[in-house]
Structure 1
Amino acid sequence: MKAQIIEAFGGPSAFKLAEIEKPDVLPGYVLIKVHATSVNPIDTKVRGGAVPAVSPEFPAVLHGDVAGVVEEVGEGVADFKSGDEVFGCAGGFKGTGGALAEYMLADARLLARKPGNITMEEAAALPLVSITAWEALFERANIQPGQNVLIHAAAGGVGHVAIQLAKWAGAKVHTTASSQEKLDMAASLGADAGINYKEKSVQDYVQAYTDGKGFDIVFDTVGGENLNRSFEAAAIHGTVAAIAARSTHDLSPLHAKGLSLHVVFMLLKIINENERKQHGEILKKIAGLVEEGKLRPLIDSNSFTFDQVSDAHALLESGEAVGKVVLKNNW
């Protein structure tokens, strides 16, 4: 089968079109005819060698997010049959094959049926970001109706899904972005208030939107110095959930406010096989919300094919993408 592979860590140009063996179906697995995938920041980090502990062996097929049609079902799989449309984040990391190929071998526990009211490309945009946002808000931060929630990076992959999930949960949703265009987009997804972080300091918006008390939950999808700003924005006994915490910080603000800090790394449930079922269960809930019209993916206006994967990675790394960068299988 055709696949985009990397033979060494490198920049966006590291991808190379190759012919590799089509995987044989295994017990508990399904073989998916891949229709679409999407690029996540973790995919660019794997490609660049920043996270060798979760990287597959070379030659490597990258990308976890997949949407496609079940071609073949392995022994013991009861939830899917040949011809089913599915989606999931099912590989591209240590010990697994990725979605940048004609076919992907996927553990059935990591998949769910694709929502019937969206395209394959839209479905491929959802798995990693929606699982991440769900785990952060519901499993870790224990979001409750009426809480004041701050979500950083409204136009990002995780951020735009988190806005919709927090709104569905009944929270009052505030979000940050760098432009009015992105804040308008956030409002269309249900955000109650948009904050241009280039124009307002943390102290300014904490005073404006919480009377100086701080936010009950701060979801930081940015990391680095922004994690410090998240600590500053949180209320006494508040919760900070972070997905980019590979950095060094002074924990004094956590102590001063009695904050809880939760770090979410959704790949752990792919790498640790005994936890994979939880991803499929979350995706079933996500699919239900999509079909009810409560959640929709935001797709960047630039479209790519698998032959243009280098361009897709370059766009995501440029910081100019709005929403998810999606690739359609053209093979």
Structure 2
Amino acid sequence: MAEEMAAYVIEEYGDPDVFQRQTVEVPDPGPEEVRVDVAATSLNPVDYKIRRGDIPDFAPEFPAVLHCDVSGVVDAVGEEVDRFDEGDEVYGMPGGAGRQGALAEYVVGNAGTFAQAPESLSLEEAAALPVVALTAWEMLADKTTVDEGDDVIVYGAAGGVGHVGVQMADHFGADVTATGSTEAKRSLAAELGANATVDYTETDVATYIDEHAGGDGFDVVFDPVGDDHLETAFEAVRPYGSVVTTESSSTQDLSPMHASSLSLGVVLVILPVLLGEGEERIGEELTEIARLVDEGAVEPRIDERFGFDEAAAAHRRGEEGGVLGKLLLVAE
């Protein structure tokens, strides 16, 4: 076992070119931790927001190894861990925010932040799932419940969280309407299970409520986009309905919530890692998600693959927008 490893780190916030390859010490797992030989990671907006310095409270210490998602093979097990053995293929969300992440040969994290990887995907592809699938799961199965025949609208339906949200809502038996600004995005949403698609740049809220939600609004509005979409969500939801979102930064008038007796659920899936407590929740939910994947209910869509040495290019592509599904970064 080598004592040093390659890692792609940032020493300061900035544009994608701040990534640099360094040789650092291989981390040892603590009593409740496992070390994973990294197969792949994927890009989420939280990763480039941390890199830019938008959310410094979430950043690992410099030199910082970013990226929250990971898949790989368990390489070492802490003395108090009995859930995993060396050689297990796992996926998880152990760091990248609050602690060192996955853009390295090895990552260490609390055993509770991992689960056995889905059997029906390649190990590399499993790295596309944790952040987005956990977010979609917590939005649809924790912050609200979706019943057979519910009208659910998914904003940003071809994006990372959205494309999993479409599949999960469909699996739960909802009638899914999906929004997308391009034909390619709407086609992907339909392919993933949406019953109807809407070009929100050309169609106002009242029109798509009339066409797809019986005129009184959707039972659930699934909003992984935020900003102006959250304001639109309050218009699109029926009285007593639910809006679920990942929104964190915009200022909103909440009076529509009172007027229509709405519920609002906000999800931050990396919170257990940031708090350093309750990490078992992550592993339990990832176990359930792996079951959905192996049942054929959920599959990540990989738009493009990069090597770890192409982290800057992956971040540029992600920040440009227009990604269908996820960008995957594969270890050398």
Instruction: Tell whether the structures are fold-level matches, with TM greater than 0.5.
Output: yes
Task: Read off the aligned partner of 2:56 and give its amino acid letter.
Answer: P
2:46 corresponds to 1:42: yes
Given candidates 203, 223, 228, the residue that maps to 1:225 is: 228
- Displacement after TM superposition at 1:271 (Å): 1.7
Task: Read off the aligned partner of 2:311 and give its amino acid letter.
Answer: V
Contact 2:61 2:100 in 1 (8 A): no
Aligned residue pair count: 328
Q: Deviations over 1:246-270 (max 9, x none)?
A: 1101112212211111111111122
Determine the C-alpha separation between the residues in 2 that align with 1:10 and 1:3.
Answer: 18
Given candidates 18, 25, 32, the residue that maps to 2:29 is: 25
Determine the C-alpha separation between the residues in 2 that align with 1:169 and 1:117.
Answer: 20
Task: Read off the aligned partner of 1:27 and give its amino acid letter.
Answer: P
Contact 2:234 2:257 in 1 (8 A): yes
Q: CA RMSD in A?
A: 1.0
Secondary structure of the 2:313 match is helix
Determine the C-alpha separation between the residues in 1 that align with 2:236 and 2:322.
Answer: 26
Task: Read off the aligned partner of 1:11 and give its amino acid letter.
Answer: D
2:145 corresponds to 1:142: yes
Residues 142-291 of structure 1 aligned to structure 2 (within 5 Å): 142-291=145-294
Q: Which moved more, 1:205-214 or 1:32-41?
A: 205-214
Q: Report the counterpart of residue 309 of structure 1 in structure 2.
A: 311
Q: Report the counterpart of residue 125 of structure 2 in structure 1.
A: 122
- Displacement after TM superposition at 1:11 (Å): 1.1
Task: Read off the aligned partner of 2:324 and give its amino acid letter.
Answer: V
- Displacement after TM superposition at 1:245 (Å): 2.9
Q: Deviations over 1:162-218 (max 9, x none)?
A: 111111111111110011221111111111111111221111101111232000100
Paired-residue identity, %: 45
Secondary structure of the 2:153 match is strand
Task: Read off the aligned partner of 1:18 and give its amino acid letter.
Answer: Q
Task: Read off the aligned partner of 2:199 and give its amino acid letter.
Answer: N
Residues 68-107 of structure 1 aligned to structure 2 (within 5 Å): 68-94=72-98, 96-107=99-110
Secondary structure of the 1:20 match is strand
Q: Deviations over 1:15-58 (max 9, x none)?
A: 11101111012111111000100010000111111111111111
- Displacement after TM superposition at 1:273 (Å): 2.7
Q: Deviations over 1:101-160 (max 9, x none)?
A: 000002110101111111122100000101111111111012222211111011100001
Task: Read off the aligned partner of 1:141 and give its amino acid letter.
Answer: T
2:10 corresponds to 1:6: yes
Q: Report the counterpart of residue 66 of structure 2 in structure 1.
A: 62
Determine the C-alpha separation between the residues in 2 that align with 1:84 and 1:146.
Answer: 39
Determine the C-alpha separation between the residues in 2 that align with 1:171 and 1:91.
Answer: 33
Determine the C-alpha separation between the residues in 1 that align with 2:278 and 2:77.
Answer: 21
- Displacement after TM superposition at 1:274 (Å): 2.6
Residues 288-299 of structure 1 aligned to structure 2 (within 5 Å): 288-299=291-302
Determine the C-alpha separation between the residues in 2 that align with 1:212 and 1:12.
Answer: 45
Determine the C-alpha separation between the residues in 1 that align with 2:94 and 2:148.
Answer: 32
Q: Report the counterpart of residue 109 of structure 1 in structure 2.
A: 112
Structure 2: stretches of 5+ with no match in the other structure: none
Q: Report the counterpart of residue 320 of structure 2 in structure 1.
A: 318
Q: Deviations over 1:82-119 (max 9, x none)?
A: 1110001110111x211000000021101011111111
Secondary structure of the 2:148 match is coil
Secondary structure of the 1:228 match is helix
Determine the C-alpha separation between the residues in 2 that align with 1:114 and 1:250.
Answer: 41
Determine the C-alpha separation between the residues in 1 that align with 2:218 and 2:272.
Answer: 29
